[in-house]
Structure 1
Amino acid sequence: MAGEASTGTFLQGLDRGLAVIRAFSADAPSLTLSEVARDVGITPATARRILLTLSELGYVRSDGRRFSLTPRVLALGWAYLSSLDFGELAGPFMEELSAKTRESCSIATLDLPDIVYVARVPTSRIMTVALGVGARLPAYATSMGRVLLADLPDDELTAYLSSVEAEPLTDRTVTSPDKLREVIDAARTDGYALVDQELELGLRSIAAPIRNSRGRTIAALNVSAHASRSTPASLRTETLPHLHATATQITTALTHRGHL
């Protein structure tokens, strides 16, 4: 890399900061200062300044020797995903899913401690809270939130579970950190999450991940149904296959558009 000073309109500091973030990956979830310097091609002193800045901003954490990204980095992904206009890209697939299931469907991304809606196709109003693009709900009590949490590295999931203030939104809401880990681990294994009246009484929801070309979950797709029209078993056997098929269609569309 060139020197630290900006050249014309090109900011070397920003370039290096983003390069440091990109140095972390599924194969290298934590790195030492020396490893960051080597991988990015900068001096240890520069790597130290960048890592300490990212740590101060909340994008990186350290155990004293090794550094790793925090869930706050996902906010950068949310900004990117929201710019894609999911409503335009995923809309036709979601309309088809809604027609097949006769229920509402939505797409959300993770912005801890919440999920943020980026697209929605409603049928009838089955929730007391109005939902639209930009609406936020607590990740722990939603099917989409659990699918998204399931893709977090174990240390980041542990940090989330140790800090989240899980409130009993209904008498069915899972609030225990141990139980939440159990249901999130199940979502990781099963490839979907089902929430039965934990967010709101009378509402059931099932969600599946939307993954990028590297297999990482970038968003979640769900179908919500009133308890009078659904059972957990019917959501699994009848709705889930349509949900997975639609998630695959959206991933393919994003890939063809060059977004993944």
Structure 2
Amino acid sequence: MTSNDRDFIRSIERGFTVLSAFGEQRPTPTPAEVAEATGLSRPAVRRILLTLQRLGYVDNDGDRWRLTPRVLSLGRHFSASHALTEAAQPLLLELADRTGESASLGVLDGTDVVYAARVPVRRIMSINVSVGTRVPAYATSMGRALLAWESPDTVDRVVSGSGFAPLGPATVTDADALREAVGAVREHGYALTSDELERGLITLAAPVRDASGVSVGALASSTSTGRASVEEFRDAVAPLITDAAERLSSRMGFTGH
């Protein structure tokens, strides 16, 4: 056995083999049809389908199985993430320069927001924020901006998967309040949070949308209550960040409103 053979995980291979069995000829196959198409045993196909269902990539209606919209995220994240972070970098530098505050790009991953790019100006959060840092979507302005134009299934998944632990004095701690906050983003074009992720932190985020109109990222700026009031920060930063998000959305192919 070679080192490459030892590193090869056959269970992952079988999982992708099952996903590949879905297609134009078999949009809603039965486990027996998947087994026939893949050459895998029916018990193995059943276990793989149930695992993929738990992960959110397939669902079933009786004996018929179908892919869920979540599989689109695999291709979307691959095609969009590199172009998105590259296109966002000069805008983040511009935002940090114009606001004097940190600027970030976040993307949605499960129920969390992951920092994909960041231009730090000064440390204002007690947690160490860098590219790759994960924060819960429910307690962040970026999370709400990302959910504003997501599919109802994605919003439901994030809401149902959020623990709503009170992380700061004003953290949103129930599903209805989060849904209301997400709806406000569609009305105002940005999300604003204060004392939610942690005490003293104010953040403002605007959604970045692609050609399909879906939120593929969120630009955000942060400050502390010791440096500005919520009203001062909103008045100064909201026009800048929504403009930057609109320009980045245009670069990602978004042409609507």
Taking structure 1 as the reference length, the TM-score comes to 0.73
1:56 is matched with 51
Q: Aligned to 2:219, what secondary structure does the other structure show?
A: strand
1:95 is matched with 93
| Alignment CA distance shift 1:113-1:72 (3 Å) | farther
Task: Give the CA deviation at 1:239.
Answer: 0.9
Task: Give the CA deviation at 1:181.
Answer: 1.8
2:113 is matched with 115
Whether the 8 Å CA contact 2:28–2:65 is kept in 1: the answer is no
1:7 is matched with none
Whether the 8 Å CA contact 2:113–2:136 is kept in 1: the answer is yes
1:238 is matched with 236
Deviations 1:171-218 (A, max 9, x none): 211111222222122223332111111011111001000111221110
Whichever residue aligns with residue 209 of structure 1, its letter is P
Whichever residue aligns with residue 146 of structure 1, its letter is R
2:142 is matched with 144
2:41 is matched with none
Whether the 8 Å CA contact 1:109–1:148 is kept in 2: the answer is yes
In structure 2, what is the Cα distance between the partners aligned to 1:216 and 1:124?
A: 31
In structure 2, what is the Cα distance between the partners aligned to 1:43 and 1:124?
A: 51
Whether the 8 Å CA contact 1:75–1:110 is kept in 2: the answer is no
| Alignment CA distance shift 1:16-1:71 (3 Å) | closer
Q: Aligned to 1:198, what secondary structure does the other structure show?
A: coil
Task: Count the aligned residue pairs.
Answer: 226
Q: 1:221 aligns with which of 210, 219, 226?
A: 219
Whichever residue aligns with residue 160 of structure 1, its letter is V
Of stretches 99-108 and 232-241 in structure 1, the one that deviates more from structure 2 is: 232-241
Whether the 8 Å CA contact 1:204–1:225 is kept in 2: the answer is yes
Whether the 8 Å CA contact 1:143–1:195 is kept in 2: the answer is yes
Task: Give the CA deviation at 1:150.
Answer: 2.3
In structure 1, what is the Cα distance between the partners aligned to 2:184 and 2:218?
A: 16
Q: 1:182 aligns with which of 174, 180, 183?
A: 180
In structure 2, what is the Cα distance between the partners aligned to 1:253 and 1:157?
A: 25
Identity %: 36
2:68 is matched with 69
| Alignment CA distance shift 1:44-1:134 (3 Å) | closer
- Residues 4-23 of structure 1: matches in 2 within 5 Å? 17=19
| Alignment CA distance shift 1:227-1:250 (3 Å) | same
| Alignment CA distance shift 1:43-1:174 (3 Å) | closer
Whether the 8 Å CA contact 1:78–1:109 is kept in 2: the answer is no
Of stretches 156-165 and 139-148 in structure 1, the one that deviates more from structure 2 is: 156-165
Whether the 8 Å CA contact 1:72–1:111 is kept in 2: the answer is no
Q: Aligned to 1:56, what secondary structure does the other structure show?
A: helix
- Can you give the 5+ residue segments of structure 1 that lack an aligned partner in the other structure? 1-10, 21-36
In structure 2, what is the Cα distance between the partners aligned to 1:167 and 1:99?
A: 34
Task: Give the CA deviation at 1:125.
Answer: 0.6
Whichever residue aligns with residue 173 of structure 2, its letter is T
Q: Aligned to 1:228, what secondary structure does the other structure show?
A: coil
- Can you give the 5+ residue segments of structure 2 that lack an aligned partner in the other structure? 1-12, 38-44
Larger-gyration structure (1/2): 2
Of stretches 233-242 and 140-149 in structure 1, the one that deviates more from structure 2 is: 233-242
Q: Aligned to 1:229, what secondary structure does the other structure show?
A: coil
In structure 2, what is the Cα distance between the partners aligned to 1:207 and 1:138?
A: 15
1:104 is matched with 102
Task: Give the CA deviation at 1:14.
Answer: 6.3
| Alignment CA distance shift 1:45-1:96 (3 Å) | closer
2:246 is matched with 248
